[in-house]
Amino acid sequence: AAGVIQSPRHLIKEKRETATLKCYPIPRHDTVYWYQQGPGQDPQFLISFYEKMQSDKGSIPDRFSAQQFSDYHSELNMSSLELGDSALYFCASSPWTDGDTQYFGPGTRLTVL
Amino acid sequence: EDKVVQSPLSLVVHEGDTVTLNCSYEVTNFRSLLWYKQEKKAPTFLFMLTSSGIEKKSGRLSSILDKKELFSILNITATQTGDSAVYLCAVEVTGTYKYIFGTGTRLKVLA
């Protein structure tokens, strides 16, 4: 069965650069969630989208923005990167009929030098 | 001081993904911009770009130059494990035959 796909798997950037992370949900899932997991920390919810509209917002910095496209994939755009942005970024998807079950992708590891 | 900066430094993707590699430059006398692929041997030439806005394509690879914003991008679609390499960007300085290389982007494509 198809799973959540995240791209790239690993990204290394320098301070003040920008990064774009992509998430392709499971087919027929219309809700996407973004999480940030720092070293040794629990995942922190950033933002979610339902039917291409922002549905909930968590601890997402102003330097970050995200959107969901017509094919339901989502992109997380990160600007003016800081060392503290180094983390694992997980994307999860769920169908509208079962919002309590989130299917997580493999994550993108971002390293900011 | 003339310089060429490539981004990202490193990238890991799955086969089939599309990647975009960036190269920005600050050069006083620009002549051309070149992209190379380097595996465990000498770099292999990919593209030479001299004019803005004209895309060059070779199979799954394409590249374009923006001389106003001083950057170029290299796109690789439907990546394959054989695309794993370091991609180097270099700018040729006119009149000197000098090439200024970026530090490269290391691309790894997982099966």
pLDDT tens-digit profile of B37-58?
A: 877 655 678 999 998 888 899 9
Return the pLDDT at A99: 56
Considering only CA atoms, which of A80, A88, A87, A70 is closest in space to residue A25? Answer: A70
Which residue among B8, B13, B110 sits closest to A12, beta carbon to beta carbon?
A: B8
Number of neighbours of residue B27 by Cβ within 10 angstroms: 18
CA B9 to chain centre: 12
Res. B63 pLDDT band, cuts 50 70 90: very high
Locate the chain B residue with the closest alpha carbon to A10: B12
Shortest alpha-carbon distance between residue A83 and chain B (Å)? 15
Shortest alpha-carbon distance between residue A8 and chain B (Å)? 5
Shortest alpha-carbon distance between residue B95 and chain A (Å)? 32
Which residue among B7, B19, B110 sits closest to A13, beta carbon to beta carbon?
A: B7
Return the pLDDT at B15: 96
Q: Percent of chain B beyond pLDDT 70?
A: 93
Return the pLDDT at B54: 86
Locate the chain B residue with the closest alpha carbon to A11: B11
By the 8 A CB rule, do B63 and B47 touch?
A: yes
Res. B64 pLDDT band, cuts 50 70 90: very high
Q: Which candidate in A5, A12, A17, A77 is best for mutational testing of the B interface (most B CBs within 10 A)?
A: A12
Question: Is the link from the previous residue into A106 a cis peptide, with omega within 30 of 0?
Answer: no
Looking at the DSSP bridge assignments, the partners of residue A78 are A19, A64
Walk along chain A (113 residues) in steps of 10 and give the mean pLDDT of each run: 81 95 92 85 84 88 95 96 92 74 78 94
Res. B36 pLDDT band, cuts 50 70 90: confident
Return the pLDDT at B72: 97
- Residue A96 three-state SS: helix
What is the Cα–Cα distance from B74 to A71, expressed in whole angstroms?
A: 25
* Average model confidence (pLDDT) across chain B: 88
Inter-chain residue contact A12 with B10, CB threshold 8 Å:
yes
Res. B102 pLDDT band, cuts 50 70 90: confident
What is the Cα–Cα distance from A81 to A12, expressed in whole angstroms?
A: 11
